[in-house]
Structure formats: structure tokens, C-alpha cells
Amino acid sequence: MKTPSHLQAPTSPTRDFAEQHMHTILARLAGPGAVPRADQVDAVHAVLQPASRVLVVQATGWGKSAVYWAATHAIRSGGAGPTLLVSPLLALMRDQVSAAERAGLKAATVNSTNFDDWDDVFQRLDADAIDVLLVSPERLGNPRFAARLGALLSRVGLIVIDEAHCISDWGFDFRPDYQRLARALLSTPTASVLATTATANERVTLDIGKQLGQSTVTFRGTLARTSLTLSVVPDLSPLQRYAWIADALTQLPGSGIVYVLTVAEAERLTAFLCSCGHSVDAYTGQTDADTRLKVEYRLRHNQVKAVVATSALGMGYDKPDLGFCVHVGSPSTPVAYYQQVGRAGRAVAHAEGVLLPSDADERIWEYFATASIPDAATAAKVLQSLRNEGRSLLEIEADTGVRRGRLEALLKILAVEGVVDKDGPAWRATGRTYVHDTAKWAALAQVRQQEAGIMRQYAHGQGCLMAYLQTALDDPSPAPCGRCSVCTGHLPFPGLAPSTDKLMAARDFLRGMDVDIEPRKRWPGGVSRKGTISGFDAGRAVAFADDPGWVTELQALRWATRGEGAGSAEVPPELLAGAVRSLGRWAKSWPARPVCVMPLPAPAPSMAANQQLAAYIAQKGRLPLHDVLSWRGGPAPDDTASTPVVAHLESAICLAPHTALPAGPVLLVATEVRTRWAATVAAALLREKGVSQVLLLALHLQP
């Protein structure tokens, strides 16, 4: 892999030609007075060499997109084919289409949301009426697109792989689909290839360069951001973090993004901030496409103070005047954090980047880190399941016992290795032997542990924050920034102590939220019951996941249900009272009042906690207590697919023989619910014995 200093002086096109097109594009994007950086011109110059391979690693806001627009403009002016740009997120793709059009280029996209437009796009490509075609990495798995890929690659003049860290196993946001498409595109012998990213350390940079080829020319600059003031506000409780943000939004500059680690957190925090009078929207991987467009528009035009988002709103989102980026909980790697916080301050003199670390961060890091790393035994089990026939995801899950999220990640990795492929809804083994690279995956797991350690140190403010990120990302010239909370000792408002009124408001709001428990719809394959489930009709929980409104009480509940710690074995009275309040709100929507209360059976000591809750609800509601369900044997298997769990529960949960059951609705109660299968099996038993309706109440719904 070469660096720019090794680039030989080309004969054609000249550097002046590259500079001319760079000036043209910048004038259209930023005005006639815009002047290109020398290294931008050098990058365009490198791309314009025949069949070149170029990697640009530069900070957010440096102008990487201007490089590929200028290169496209130059290539098209010479009569070459269009640019094919691979983009990982729909939000980024929409911004890129708009930017390309502002640059005077004709752009179109092929993605999962515009199937109806594909024929028109392909016709325009055939007529050479498109300068830039943007595609998502998943398109290679679509037969309709894959069938056209060969002809398209024979015509394109430039291939751009944006957010190229996604093609590296070592990247913080590695995506097998992205790497798979990149490999297919790199096979072209004629088109130039440009890969760009703002978030690659030396290991990722070398890996991307290796995938691009030995002739790769790399442009890498400093990652320091002079407009961005970084801060860490330590030691806040979950409630204090909510209150801190509610206070801070009154003074943080402009509009911004508040990043959280989970969908549930995004929805909770958004609801609370709206209750405080702030104009705030939520944005997650579960937000539908139309709503995403509206939220992006509202933020871009400063119609909201903030968007509370997961990483679904991240790479490439284009709002140059974003005034702040606050993290409630820390991403697991310095690269991921830099990528997100770098959204702020691109075209303003001052922006704030604030981290509010959480004690729960590392549990979430561990989940995401391990979910995407395959192990040899699981891979062998999945391939054995596919040995003789194609199977759907649901069938593989039932056959292997591998949980859905881990199974999907593993199948994508196996597809990249060419040992499985997908035909419609069915996955099939290709017959190619899978060789598990144990050393590679073990090294990746170790790297992720090291990166988590770096973020742990960052959260403790061990040195200049900007320099710390630069060092972690292997920036060639890290230096103290003189602006961050470590360098100055200053924290943004409200500092270490949010206001008491916001703290009380957060507690009251969060304890007044109700959590719906969605009933299971169909029995998994391989168990005695089949088809549509007749189980509990509706469910309600007091708290969900690491609910900031109930942190202390949920810890005490773990002591009561699993014997953790040295605390009381009693269910916390605050949660019992919260259950009664939740029932009071829920009861307004019931067609009929329950005629009795039943505890959900569970292994000890959870059974005793469930019985305590049932007795309390029965006493407060003046309802009969029917303790007729029991548990035999050990606990159900954990961290596995539905089939073995349900099979175990069908033998473990028993209904007392010759029990006279009421015909009316039954309130089934549990202190904790996770998979919902125990409640589903118990409710099915009751329904099969003539109970008309089962309602489920839980204190804690676990993710």
C-alpha cells in the first residue's frame, strides 16, 4: 500500500485537470469563493489514474464527498461511465443524492425503499443519463440487482465505497453484506476505486488497503476538530442523566443529537424530554422510513431542539451546523464515539460533545461485541442443519437452538465466506468447506476488549479528551486541544448537579410509564403445540430493561428472585405499589375485571417472589388468589432459541389436577418476564382448561 509521497507524476490527466474540477464542484457546493485543500486535489488526482485504488481517511467535515463528486465530474467529462457509490445508511444516501445534485450531477439510488423506481433507474443507466448510482450493501443479495451487476461493472468509471471501515472485520461497524459487495466491486479490472472513511485506526486502515490491493494510495490527515469542545460528566445516576439533559437543552447551542445505546432508551428519554416542554424527536432502527425522513428534515431545518437517536442516525448525516452531540452512555469503541460526536461542529465555530457515562454501558458492550463474533461449534451446527436442504431462518433457529440475532449475524458471515447463500426466504449450503479462522476471531474479540478499556479510560477523563481520541485512532499528530473539560476543568451547564425539580420530574415521569408486553403469536417448530397461540391476551410491565426510574428497586428485585447480594429477599414495596398504580391505569381499558389472581410458576427463589406479588395484588384488588400452577425440574435453558425453551417449559409448568378454574378473566402475575414463553405456556394451559382470558402483569420486562 502506497502513500501519496510515493505517487509518481502522471502523464494524464494532469493535476491541473483535477484542480479545475475540484474548483467547479466546490463552487457549486459552497459558493464561488471556496478554495480546495491541496490534499483534496491530490486525492482527486490519484483517483483519476487508470484503474487506481485510493483510500482517504480524513476527519468529518474535511470534504471527502467533494473528492468523489469532483472525480466523478472529471471522469464523466471525459466520456467514461457513471460512478457506483456504495452507501451504508438510507439517511446518508438521501443526503448524498441531494449533494450530488447540488454539485451538478445526475444521481439516482437503488435501495430497499424504492423497488418501484428500479426499472426507471436501470433504463436511465442504459441511456447513460445517470452520473452517480447509489446502492446499499444489501443489494448484492437481491437477484434482480445481482443480475445486472456484471453489465454495470463493465461500464462504470469509478466505484466509491463510502464509510469503508464497514468492510473491515476490525472496524467498529463491520457489516458482512458490505464486505461481500465490496469484494464483488473490487473485481473490476478497469474502474478506479475510492474508499473513504473518517473513522479508521491504523489496523482498520491497513485492512482496507489490503482489500483494495497493494497499489492502494492512502491519504490520511489529522482527526483533531478545533470547533468541537469535548466534555465528560462523570458519576451521574440514571435519573440524574435524564435531568441533566432536560436542564442542558435550555442552553446547549443550536440543534443537536442525543445518542443512546438502545431503542428503549431512545423512546423513554424522548417521552420525558417532551414532557418537560422540549421539542424532541426519536430516531432508531425501528423508526419507519417516512418518519425518518420527517425527523431528518426537522433536525436539518432546526425545527426541533434535539433528536434522541441510536446509531441508526450516524454515518454521513449531513447537518453542518449541528450544535451539540450528547451521549447518554458510551459507545464501545473510540472509533464509534468519534464517528458519532463528529457529527457536531462541522460548519460552526463552536459545538459541544458531551459524554454522560453509565454503569450499564459495559453490559451492553459485551452483548453487541459477542453477538457478531462466530464460534466454530455454532457454525458447524448451522451448516449441519443445512446439509441436505434449504431452510428458512425460523427452521434453522428451531433446529439448532441458536438465538435469532446471533443466527442472522452468523449466516451473513458464512455468506461472505461463500459456504451458504440465500434463495428467496431459504438459506442453503453451497458445498464449499467452511474453515473457521479461530486466530482471527479470537484476536478480534481481544481487540474489542482493548477498545472497551480505552473508552473506560476516556470516560474517567485520563488526559486531554481530543488528544485521547486522536491517539486511540492512531492519528499521526495528536496534541492537547486546550478546550475540553480535562484541559480547562470546565463542564457545560448544568455541570455536575442537575436541578432538583428536573430530577423529581424524571423520577415521577418514569415511574408513571407503562410497558406493554406483546403476546407471542405462533408456537415454534418441534414442540407439542402447533400453529397460532391462544395464550395471554395482553400484558403490562412496571419497568423495562435498565429502567432509570427503578434502578435501586430492580437491583433489590434481583436479590429477591435470584438470591444476588446480601439484601432482603422481599420484593421491594415501591415496585409493589407501582404495580397497583399500573393496574389502575390499565384497568380502564379492560372489557371485564379479572375474577382472580394467579402467580406464574418459576424455579425457586423466583416462585416465592411471584407468590408474594400475587398475594399483594389479590389483597389490594380484593380478588381471590388461586395458586394452582407449579414448576418441576430445573430452570429453562438460557440464551438459546425458542424450541428448546418451550419444550422444557411444557414439561416444567403443571396445572394442579382436578382444579376448578374460573370461567372469567384471570390476572397472571410475575416479578420478571424475559422471553415471554413461560407466561405463554402457563396461559395456554389455563385457556385449554376453559379460562376465557388471561392478562399478564410483570414488575420487570427484561430485553
> What pLDDT does 25 receive?
95
Residue 367's pLDDT is 67
Same domain, 65 and 169: yes
Q: Specify if 280 maps to a domain.
A: yes
Residues 559 and 469 in one domain: no
Closest CA to 517 of 540, 494, 500: 540
pLDDT of residue 316: 56
Report how far apart, in Å, the C-alpha atoms of 13 and of each of 21, 26, 71, 74, 78 are: 12, 20, 11, 10, 10
The mean pLDDT of 312-331, rounded to a whole number, is 85
Q: Which of 232, 230, 90, 75 is nearest to 160 (CA)?
A: 75
Name the domain count of the chain. Answer: 4
What local confidence, expressed as pLDDT, does residue 289 receive? 82
Cα atoms found within 13 Å of the Cα of residue 520, Cβ hemisphere only: 23
pLDDT at 198: 85
Query: Is 60 exceeded by the pLDDT of residue 699?
Result: yes
Answer yes or no: is 115 within a domain.
Answer: yes
One-letter amino acid of 560: A
444 in a structural domain? no
Q: Is residue 456 part of a domain?
A: no
- List 280's β-bridge partners, or say none: 306
Domain span at residue 534 reads 512-701
Identify whether residues 345 and 484 lie together within a single domain.
Answer: yes
Q: Are residues 416 and 492 in the same domain?
A: no
Domain-terminating residue out of 190, 220, 250:
220
Q: What is the pLDDT of residue 213?
A: 87
Average pLDDT, the chain: 89
375-393: per-residue pLDDT in tens?
899 999 999 999 888 899 9
What angle, 0 to 180 degrees and rounded to 10, lies between the N-to-C axes of helices 263-275 and 238-248? 50
Question: Which of 161-165, 177-181, 420-424, 635-639 is least confident?
Answer: 177-181
Same domain, yes or no, for 328 and 398? no
* DSSP bridge pairs for 108: 133
Domain match, 487 and 524 both: no
**Predicted pLDDT at 9:** 40
Assess whether 325 and 268 both reside in one domain.
yes
Q: What pLDDT is recorded for position 566? A: 42
pLDDT tens-digit map of 133-142:
999 877 766 7
Q: Which of 12-21, 54-63, 150-159, 646-655 has the highest mean pLDDT?
A: 646-655
Q: For position 652, which CATH number holds?
A: 3.40.50.2020
The per-residue pLDDT for 394 is 84
Mean pLDDT, to the nearest integer, of 457-467? 89
- 215 and 233 together in one domain: no
Question: Within this chain, do residues 185 and 282 fall inside the same structural domain, yes or no?
Answer: no
Strands 391-392 and 426-429: antiparallel
> 157 and 94 share a domain?
yes
> What does the block give as the cell for 156?
462504470
From 514, 621, 616, select the one nearest 573 (Cα to Cα).
Answer: 616
pLDDT digits (tens, 9 = 90+) for 645-683: 999 999 999 999 888 888 889 999 999 999 999 999 999
| CATH code, domain with 422 | 1.10.10.10
pLDDT-derived band of residue 569, with 50, 70 and 90 as boundaries?
low
Q: Supply the pLDDT for residue 315.
A: 61
CATH classification of the domain holding 250: 3.40.50.300
Q: In what order do the strands lie in the sheet with 426-429?
A: 391-392, 426-429, 420-423
Per-residue confidence at 445, pLDDT binned at 50, 70, 90? confident
pLDDT computed for residue 630 by the predictor = 96
Pairing, β 306-309 against β 280-283: parallel
Q: What is the 3-state secondary structure (H, E, C) of 190-208?
A: CCEEEEEECCCCHHHHHHH
On whether both 413 and 276 belong to a single domain, the answer is no
If you average pLDDT over residues 456-464, what whole number do you get?
Answer: 87
